[in-house]
């Protein structure tokens, strides 16, 4: 077999097959998971596409399962390193060659990677993420939640830590599941504001105003901790978004360089903004433009647009960090600590204690994932399912 020549950075541990298989056997919340994917119907389940990435990067699409047991067996037998979830089709994936085989339902999904924010982070780069740059993810969660709820009227929304470098968002509402390709395209583009879209002096769309309100909850602190205006390049990177003549911008820059701290330099921008209001400058929206450029959610639009795009399943395990992709509450996003999520290793370590706890339990409650480290995230998930099925 082909040897994989991956080089792991120091914080990456490859998860062994044995550890994975015991996770799937004992901690993976299979019952609610299956309930969700088939919406309590085994026939629907059998039309849902699964994709497994196995050892040595062997990648298989269009798997489908007709029951919980079958999926359970497949997990244990193949120990997938990655599980992706696709659409529910009109036929079982076994009949995917039929000429009218097509997507029928698919949760609306969003995928955000912190590595897309490297130009506005000084603390980490690429896949790394820490408490200092997490506010960017907080902003994403809040903007998405607000937009999906108030504008589009969706209610059943799940946010999931993607295991390493970002977040996923799943919308379970039936209307969301049944959106067609064109509708997904429209929604995705609605949720993709760019700095270029902010003109120099017009009314801002309600969606953009709302996003800016959320940004403002974090802005000053983020600016300061990241020290975004600490260097000359930093100042330039902001000035780039000001639509005024270079001579004016150079003048501003000189004024800023007389100060040392990011916050003092930012106050120059604010002062200029006040002057702009009195029509001194043509561009009156540069503050808004900068904030959008730095903090507006950078969603991977292809994922949201696609009807059959695959996305990593909640509760799967990141093959390098061993972290479980846990759901979390949007309201608690600020205190979410991505270095403190359950990992296959921590679950193992605390296993003995947990065994004692579940000995006293009966029936469903004797499942390990209803207790200990997994408890909270499983509860978020099952609460949402209850909401889905109570309709």
Partner 1 sequence: MLKLAFCKQPDLKQWFVRNEVNLFRYRFNKMSSKGKIRFFELSKFNLESIEKGEITGELEANLNDCSNITTASAKTWYRIPWTQVGRLVTRRSIFIDEGKAYVPEEDLIEFVVGKFRSECNRWLAGLAKKFDVMMENEQERLVPILKSFGNTIADADFSSTEGRLTINSIETMRKTSLPPCIRQLLDALQVDNKLKHDGRVHLWAFFKAAGMPLEDALKFTFTRMTAYANPEKEFKYNVRHVYGKEGGGKGVGAYGCSTKIKALPVEGQYQGCPFKHQRNLKQQLRNWGVKEVDIDKIKKKADDGHYQVACNQFFKSTHKDKEEKLDLITILHPNNFFDQSFDWNTGEHKLLKAEDTAKSEAMETSTYEPAWETTLPMSQAEKESQSQKEFEQDDFMEE
Per CB under 8 A, the list member of 16, 131, 206, 271 interacting with partner 1 is: 206
Q: Name which of partner 1, Zn ion, none residue 60 binds, using a CB cut-off of 5 to 8 Å depending on partner kind.
A: partner 1
**Residue 119 contact, options partner 1, Zn ion, none, Cβ 5-8 Å cut-off depending on partner type:** none
Residue 42 annotated in active site: no
Least distance between Zn ion and beta carbon 114 (Å): 8
CA 248, CA 281: separation in Å to the nearest integer? 9
Build a one-symbol-per-residue string for 96-135: x at contacts with partner 1 by CB under 8 A, - elsewhere: xx-xxxxx--------------------------------
Q: Are 272 and 241 in contact (CB under 8 A)?
A: no
Residue 43 beta carbon to partner 1: minimum distance, rounded to whole angstroms? 21
Contact call for residues 335 and 344 (beta carbons, < 8 A): no
For this structure, is 111 an active site residue?
yes
Q: Which of residues 159-198 bind partner 1 (CB under 8 A)?
A: 175, 179-183, 185-187, 189-190, 193, 197
Among candidate residues 35, 84, 113, 373, the one labeled active-site is 113
Contact call for residue 120 and Zn ion (CB under 5 A): no
Binding positions for partner 1, 26-55, rule CB under 8 A: 53-54
Q: Which of 123, 217, 244, 248 binds Zn ion (CB under 5 A)?
A: 123
Q: Using H for helix, E for strand and C for coil, what is the string for the chain?
A: CCCCCCCCCCCCCCCCHHHHHHHHHHCCCHHHHHHHHCCCCHHHHCCEEEEEECHHHCEEEEECCCCHHHHHHHHHHHCCCEEEEEEEECCCHHHCCCCCCCEEECCEEEEEEHHHHHHHCCCCCCCCCCCCCHHHHHHHHHHHHHHHHHHCCCCCEEEEECCCCEEEEEECCHHHHCCCHHHHHHHHHHCCCCHHHCCCCCCCCHHHHHHHHHHHHHHHHHHHHHCCCCCHHHHHHHHCCCCCCHHHHHHHHHHHHCCCCHHHHHHHHHHHHHHHHCCCCCCCCHHHHHHHHHHCCCECHHHHHCCCCCEECCCCECCCCCEECCEECHHHHHHCCCCCCCEHHHHHHCHHHHHHHHHCCCHHHHCHHHCHHHHHHHHHHHHHHHHHHCC
Decide if 351 contacts 374 (C-beta within 8 A): no
Query: Minimum CB separation from Zn ion for residue 37, in Å?
Result: 34
Q: Which of residues 129-168 bind Zn ion (CB under 5 A)?
A: 130, 132-133
Q: Is 116 a catalytic residue?
A: no
In the window 307-366, what residues touch partner 1 (CB under 8 A)?
Answer: 307-310
307 interacts with, out of Zn ion, partner 1, none, CB within 5 to 8 A per kind:
partner 1
Nearest distance, CB of residue 285 and partner 1, angstroms:
12
| Nearest distance, CB of residue 131 and Zn ion, angstroms | 7
- Does 55 bind Zn ion (CB under 5 A)? Our answer is no
Select from Zn ion, partner 1, none the partner in contact with residue 152, using the beta carbon and a kind-dependent cut-off of 5 to 8 Å: partner 1
Cα separation, 61 vs 70, in Å, equals: 17
Q: Which is nearer to partner 1, 203 or 258 (CB)?
A: 203
Based on the number of CB atoms within 10 Å of its own CB, is 124 exposed (0-12), middle (13-18) or buried (19 or more)? middle
Footprint on residues 274-303 left by partner 1 (CB under 8 A):
302
Catalytic residue among 35, 49, 107, 288: 49
- 49 vs 373, beta carbon nearer partner 1: 49
351 binds, among partner 1, Zn ion, none (CB under 5 to 8 A by kind): none
C-alpha R_g of the chain: 24
- Judged by CB under 8 A, the residue of 125, 150, 271, 387 near partner 1 is 150
Catalytic residue annotation: 49, 111, 113
Binding site for partner 1 (CB under 8 A): 1-3, 5, 53-54, 57-62, 96-97, 99-103, 150-154, 175, 179-183, 185-187, 189-190, 193, 197, 202-207, 209, 302, 306-310
Judged by the rule CB under 5 A, the positions of this chain that interact with Zn ion are: 123-124, 130, 132-133
């Amino acid at each position: 077999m082909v040897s994989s020549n991956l080089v792991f950075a120091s914080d990456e541990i490859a998860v062994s097959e044995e550890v994975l298989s015991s996770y799937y056997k004992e901690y993976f919340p299979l019952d609610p998971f299956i309930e969700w994917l088939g919406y309590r119907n085994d026939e629907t389940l059998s039309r849902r596409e699964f994709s497994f990435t196995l050892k040595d990067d062997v990648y298989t699409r269009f798997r489908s399962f007709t029951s919980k047991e079958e999926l359970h067996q497949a997990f244990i037998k193949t120990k997938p390193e990655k599980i992706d979830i696709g659409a529910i089709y009109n036929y079982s994936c076994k009949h995917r060659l039929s000429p009218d085989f097509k997507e029928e339902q698919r949760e609306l999904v969003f995928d955000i990677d912190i590595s897309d924010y490297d130009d506005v982070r000084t603390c980490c780069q690429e896949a790394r993420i820490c408490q200092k740059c997490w506010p960017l993810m907080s902003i994403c969660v809040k903007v998405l939640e607000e937009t999906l709820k108030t504008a589009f009227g969706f209610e059943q929304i799940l946010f999931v830590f993607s295991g390493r470098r970002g977040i996923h968002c799943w919308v379970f509402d039936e209307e969301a599941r049944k959106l067609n390709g064109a509708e997904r395209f429209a929604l995705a583009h609605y949720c993709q504001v760019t700095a270029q879209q902010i003109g120099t002096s017009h009314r801002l769309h309600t969606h953009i105003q709302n996003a800016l309100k959320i940004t403002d909850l974090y802005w000053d602190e983020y600016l300061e901790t990241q020290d975004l205006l600490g260097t000359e390049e930093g100042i330039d990177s902001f000035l780039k978004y000001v639509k005024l003549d270079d001579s004016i911008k150079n003048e501003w820059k000189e004024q800023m360089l007389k100060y040392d701290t990011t916050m003092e330099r930012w106050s120059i921008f604010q002062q200029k903004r006040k002057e702009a209001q009195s029509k001194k400058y043509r561009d009156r929206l540069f503050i808004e433009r900068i904030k959008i450029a730095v903090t507006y959610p950078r969603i991977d639009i292809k994922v949201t647009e696609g009807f059959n795009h695959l996305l990593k399943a909640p509760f799967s395990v990141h093959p390098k960090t061993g972290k479980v992709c846990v759901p979390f509450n949007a309201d608690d996003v600020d205190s979410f600590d991505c270095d403190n999520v359950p990992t296959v290793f921590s679950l193992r370590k605390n296993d003995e204690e947990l065994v004692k706890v579940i000995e006293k339990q009966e029936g469903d409650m004797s499942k390990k994932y209803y207790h200990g480290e997994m408890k909270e995230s499983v509860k978020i998930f099952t609460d949402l399912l209850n909401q889905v099925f109570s309709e």
